[in-house]
Amino acid sequence: MPDRVIDLRSDTVTKPSPAMRQAIATAEVGDDVLGDDPTVAALETRVADLLGKEAAVYAPSGTMTNQTAIRAHTQHGEEIVMDPDSHVYFYECAAPAALSGCSSRFVQDSHRGIFTADQVKAVLRPRNIHAPRQSLIVIENTHNRGGGSIWPVENLAAIRQLADENNMRRHMDGARLMNACVASGRKPTDYTQYFDSISICLSKGLGAPVGSVVAGSAEFIAKVRFFRKQFGGGMRQAGLLAAAGIYALDHNIDRLAEDHANARILAQGLAKLPGITLNPADVETNIVIFEIAPHLGTGATFAARLKEAGVWMMANAPQKVRAVTHLDVSRDQIEDALVRIQKIIGGTTPGVLA
Ligand SMILES: Cc1ncc(COP(=O)(O)O)c(C=O)c1O
């Protein structure tokens, strides 16, 4: 195993920097379940302002901000419209069914997780005695399994209008909304204006160790706060963690551009290797998903071979592997990773390293 691991499994693997640890160490704290923690309150106000909403609530994870929001938007027996590859469905342990008692109805044939108002319309049910009430649309921006794809605002505007006509609410899983903003040059509110609630994660590209925040109207956030407690997410002196979140918002948003540049370099290098298929133009932010030819193995076995060479990535589908760039990976490491991957493929495909 080479001594220097290049960990591209996820942008969640970042470790707090010395300066972030200093912010954690000096944070003012109180009992946040009793509403006493000034640092949590400051973070919540900061995120509400950033996203153009009245209020926000801090929670331990993106799963919890998504699922408390879903619980607050819906009643048991209702249905949620979303992409089948959305994190809320694919990676959150059937929580919409388990915690909110809701079924999921999938938009068909999205393009890398992005869909249109017409595609939503196609899965809307008639209002009759047979159909569940469809009360919520969930959209993910950027879209993780879509390879970090960014939503066009025109689609969001059209979906909002359709949702209004059908008395449906809208939640954005904006775990990586800041990546979308930095890559597109748009303000957060250019996206958030179309949503009743938005969840953002501080512990992904922004580099905090823990934490997500969900924003919306004051009335809605009061409900989310209740469900956060019910789901076991009430935390006491959470200002220690919230201080890391404030530090992340102060220092780590603009630098996401470096992660996007590194992802592009990685994608361009990978695309040149035989047996690897991806379109570098699809890489809009910090996620690179590529397909491997069967002679290289499966996604899982190829990832295992990469791991032996000290390059950590994750299988994303039977023949797909995902790499995510982040603030603990430098450009030099990306170039080093490409050399190591080329060696592995060279060993598999005679002549590549001639
Ligand atoms: C798009 C998206 N939403 C939500 C989450 C959930 O975040 P957490 O792992 O903090 O629950 C993730 C995590 O990777 C994600 O990628």
CATH of the domain at 80: 3.40.640.10
User: How many A from CA of 175 to the centre of ligand 1?
Assistant: 6
Rounded Cα distance, 256 and 286, in Å: 8
Ligand 1 centroid to Cα of residue 15, in Å, is: 17
CA-closest residue to ligand 1 atom 4: 62
Same domain, 51 and 145: yes
Whether 212 and 119 share a structural domain: yes
Q: Record the pTM.
A: 0.96
Domain assignment of residue 331, given as a range: 255-348
**Best mutation site among 83, 92, 143, 144 for ligand 1, i.e. most ligand atoms within 8 A of its Cβ?**
144
Which residue CA neighbors atom 7 of ligand 1 most closely? 62
pLDDT of residue 1: 52
Return d(Cα 162, Cα 54) in angstroms, integer: 24
Best substitution site from 87, 114, 228 to test ligand 1's pocket, by max atoms within 8 Å of Cβ?
87
Residues 193, 324 share a domain: no
Chain-centroid distance of CA 54 in Å reads 23
**Based on the domain organization, do 113 and 188 belong to the same domain?**
yes
Domain boundary among 251, 275, 294: 251
260 and 235 in one domain?
A: no
Residue after which a domain boundary falls, among 208, 226, 251: 251
Q: Tell me which residue has its CA closest to atom 13 in ligand 1.
A: 62
203 alpha carbon – ligand 1 mean position (Å)? 9
Q: Are residues 25 and 74 in the same domain?
A: yes
- The reported pLDDT for the residue numbered 102 is 98
Same domain, 265 and 285: yes
Q: Which residue, 208, 130, 211, 117, is CA-closest to 157? A: 117
Decide if 4 is inside a domain.
no
Query: Is residue 89 assigned to a domain?
Result: yes
Q: CA distances (Å), 258 to each of 66, 87, 208, 210, 286, in order?
A: 28, 25, 17, 22, 9
What pLDDT score was predicted for residue 3? 56
User: What is the mean pLDDT, run by run of 10 residues, along the chain of 354 residues?
Assistant: 84 98 98 98 98 98 98 98 98 98 98 98 96 98 98 98 98 98 98 98 98 98 98 98 98 98 98 96 98 97 97 97 98 97 77 41
Query: Measured from the CA of 12, which atom of ligand 1 is nearest?
Result: 14
Whether residue 293 sits in one domain with residue 168: no
Same domain, 78 and 34: yes
Which atom in ligand 1 lies closest to the alpha carbon of residue 64?
11
Domain match, 37 and 105 both = yes
6 assigned to some structural domain: no
User: Is residue 110 a part of any domain in this protein?
Assistant: yes
- The residue to mutate among 67, 82, 91, 142, having the most atoms of ligand 1 within 8 angstroms of its beta carbon, is 91
| Distance in Å, CA 127 to ligand 1 centroid | 33
Of 203, 235, 251, the last residue of a domain is 251
Look at the chain and report how many structural domains it folds into: 2
Residue 13, domain member (yes or no) = no
Distance CA 156, CA 91 (A): 23
Report yes or no on 130 lying in a domain.
Answer: yes
Residue 320 lies in a domain: yes
User: The domain spanning residue 339 has which CATH number?
Assistant: 3.90.1150.10
The pLDDT of residue 352: 43
Q: Is 9 part of a structural domain of the chain?
A: no
* Residue ranges lining ligand 1, Cβ < 6 Å: 12, 61-63, 66, 87, 140, 144, 173, 175, 201, 203, 212
In the prediction, which pLDDT does 351 show?
Answer: 44
Q: Are residues 242 and 260 in the same domain?
A: no
In ligand 1, the atom with minimum distance to the C-alpha of 10 is 14
Nearest-atom index, ligand 1, CA of 176? 1
Is 127 in the same domain as 271? no
Contacts of 120-129 with C-beta under 8 Å, sequence gap 24+, read 120/81, 120/159, 120/162, 120/163, 121/162, 123/81, 124/81, 124/166, 125/79
Collect all residues with Cβ–Cβ distance below 8 Å to 271 and sequence separation of at least 6: 277, 278, 279, 280, 290
